Amino acid sequence: MPRINEIFQSLQGEGHHAGVPSVFIRFSGCNLRCPFCDTDHAAYALMTNEEIAAEACRYNAPWVILTGGEPSLQAEQELVDLLHQNGKKVAIETNGTHPLPPGIDWITLSPKTGICGEADLPLRIDRADEIKVVDTGQPLDPYFSLGCRTPRTLMYLQPCFVADEKERQANIRRTVERVIADPRWTLSAQLHRFLNIP
């Protein structure tokens, strides 16, 4: 059974759908160990796909976001089908190192190559609607060569969020400067953090 950290409704805070009401299904567990991860992997409930879909469909938001952790390790075709049958559009936020169930409506790839230790695993997806890169100061050109990228793939650069205020502001300045210097990128500002919502 999938391990679910939480299910809640809020506004999407990142990428192309920033500001759109969405239900978030946060899976617990990941195959990477990123130092900036914001998921408590020790806290979860075991739920069936039917229970997950029923909880998500209590909310009126049109989009359901499968996130984590790494949702592709546990998200199953049955869950995607149940959400679609209830009129929901399904998006996933993934590191791309594990195959996805078919039928996902929007794929956000957040590759962690070069910033999470064992993260240099090969990509196992062949499509990304948007690529969201957490900016830790790493070289950015390689992201434009990813095999799942097409001319229509949107490219977002996001400041690395840290607890220390001075370091956080420095990260934001660096990312803004990098986006201005290379307009192939769009800034992903993590709207939910500025609004202080989940």
- Kindly state the tokens that stand for 139: 């070289």
User: Domain-by-domain residue ranges, the chain?
Assistant: 3-130+137-149
Query: What's the whole-model pTM score?
Result: 0.91
Given the structure tokens 């390689």, which residue do they identify? 142
Give ∠ CA 28-30-31 in degrees, rounded to 5.
Answer: 160
Q: Give the pLDDT score at 162.
A: 85
Which positions are catalytic?
24, 30, 34, 37-39, 93, 192
Per-residue pLDDT of the chain (198 residues; tens, 9 = 90+): 999 999 999 999 999 999 999 999 999 998 776 666 666 667 899 999 999 999 999 999 999 999 998 999 999 999 999 999 999 999 999 999 999 999 999 999 998 766 665 546 788 999 999 999 999 999 999 999 998 899 999 999 999 988 899 999 999 999 999 999 999 999 998 776 767 767
Rounded to whole angstroms, how far apart are CA atoms 50 and 128?
27
Q: Give the pLDDT score at 195.
A: 72
Which CATH number applies to 3-130+137-149? Answer: 3.20.20.70
3-state secondary structure the chain: CCEEEEEEEEECCCHHHCCCEEEEEEECCCCCCCCCCCCCCCCCEECCHHHHHHHHCCCCCCEEEEECCCHHHCCCHHHHHHHHHCCCEEEEEECCCCCCCCCCCEEEECCCCCCCCCCCCCCCCCCCCEEEEEECCCCCHHHHHCCCCCCCCEEEEEECCCCCHHHHHHHHHHHHHHHHHCCCCEECCCHHHHHCCC
Please give the C-alpha separations between residue 135 and each of 55, 108, 138, 139, in angstroms, as whole numbers: 34, 16, 7, 9
